[in-house]
Amino acid sequence: MVRLFFVETLYEKEIYLTDKLKKYLKENKPKTIALFAAIQFIKLEKLKKEIENLDIIIKTTKAKRTGVEMQILGCDNYHDSFKEPIIEDCDMILYVGDGLFHPKALLLSQIKNKKIKSVVLFDPISNEIKELTKKDIENQIKKTKANIRKFLNSDKIGILVTIKPGQQYFEAAKTLKEKIEKQNKKSYIFIDNTLDLRNLENYPFIECWVNTACPRIGTDDITTINQPMINMREAFDPIKALEDLEN
Amino acid sequence: MFNLELNKVIEEIKKQKPKQVLIQLPDGLKQKANIIVDTIEEKTSAKTFILFGSCYGACDPPYGLDVIKIDLMIQWGHNRFHKETW
């Protein structure tokens, strides 16, 4: 068995409340902030203290798959991905880091809420502030709804399984296959290491796909492929998933 | 700009004494792969190799490394994660 060792690769400079971020907070006047960060930017003691000095309450929580409090991963993208519901209980969601993959999980996790709160991105390297809004995932929500409907109406389902240990759900895939076949439908399980979605077109007999690997394949990659695909979670309870989205 | 923590890595290799090490780097750090390999091989006796492809996260170490007898894989830019149970 191969042993694993992780290097967090922390950002070396101290992260503080820049004038730009201070101005932004003063303009938007949040009373409470739900604070998240990518692991490289997790050392936020100074920034937290400086924000609290503006009479703003900072709330943090631990997301299910992460190693530490406040960290956010791309796959913690469901409403029940967090220990405490701080996203619902805050005026502003603030993410410290670069890139869009991780903070987008904070938007996707609100998909079943009536109001999807924007996520404010603060990049300590460039001192840039951006906002991710509902608009940034609207296409994904639309596609997800359409794909779940397609799944419900499909008779031949393809289930994708990766053999990468961190994302492998072979047993769940087999359980899902049984569940699907109890409804007099056919399903096939496809196995690979990296799931290269260009291969989907080789199986034109499949009417809808289910992804069991990284959940972001079923939320993000679906907008760039022609074939309908949903995540395993939705496939186990498609009616409930559809109800949540149509709230 | 980001701390590669090579001292910690060397210390860990000396402690674990792997014969063969594989390093996995996110795209932004792949350009440092040679520096990391050179440093590890200079300071330890572990033969060190570079994973060519993806490094999407802590969930992404490849399968089958035991076939080529990799004893230790070191991944930068991520920390231990908790796989969801189904």
Give tens-digit pLDDT for B22-75: 999 998 899 999 999 999 999 999 999 988 888 999 999 888 888 889 999 999
What percentage of chain A carries pLDDT values higher than 70?
100
A99 touches chain B (CB under 8 A): no
Residue B68's pLDDT is 86
Buried (b) or exposed (e) across A44-75, using 16+ Cβ within 10 A? beebbebbeeeebebbbbbbbbbbeebbbbbb
Looking at per-residue pLDDT, the higher value among A197 and A247 belongs to A197
- Which residue of A1, A3, A4, A7 is the best one to mutate when testing the B interface, meaning the one whose CB has the most B CBs within 10 A? A7
How far off is chain A from B25, nearest CA to CA, in Å? 10
Across the interface, do A65 and B66 touch by the CB < 8 Å criterion?
A: no
B10 touches chain A (CB under 8 A): no
List residues bridging with A3 in a β-sheet: B72
Rounded CA-CA distance A158/A129 in Å is 41
**Does residue A12 contact residue B1 with C-beta atoms inside 8 Å?**
yes
Instruction: Name which of A2, A7, A194 is nearest B72 (Cβ-Cβ).
Output: A2
ipTM: 0.78
What are φ and ψ of residue B51, in 5° steps? -75, 125
How far off is chain B from A27, nearest CA to CA, in Å? 31
A231 touches chain B (CB under 8 A): no
Instruction: Name which of A9, A67, A214 is nearest B77 (Cβ-Cβ).
Output: A9
**Does residue A86 contact residue A69 with C-beta atoms inside 8 Å?**
no
Residue A209, both tokens: 């796909």
For A7, the closest chain B residue by CA position comes to B76
Residue with tokens 């701080």: A86
Give the CA-trace dihedral at A143, A145, A147, A153, to 10 degrees: -150
In terms of average pLDDT, the best of A12-16, A194-198, B34-38 is A12-16
B28 touches chain A (CB under 8 A): no
How far off is chain A from B47, nearest CA to CA, in Å? 15
- Which residue of A1, A4, A9 is the best one to mutate when testing the B interface, meaning the one whose CB has the most B CBs within 10 A? A9
Residue A218, both tokens: 């079923």
What percentage of chain A carries pLDDT values higher than 90?
96
A247 pLDDT more than 80: no
Give tens-digit pLDDT for A158-191: 999 999 999 999 999 999 999 999 999 999 999 8
What are φ and ψ of residue B52, in 5° steps? -70, -40
DSSP H helical ranges for chain A: 19-28, 45-52, 101-108, 135-152, 170-181, 232-236, 238-245
Q: In chain B, which residues have their Cβ closer than 8 Å to the Cβ of A166?
A: 57-61, 81, 83
Residue B62's pLDDT is 87
Across the interface, do B83 and A65 touch by the CB < 8 Å criterion?
A: yes
Helix/strand/coil for A187: strand
Give tens-digit pLDDT for A111-155: 999 899 999 999 999 999 999 999 999 999 999 999 999 999 999
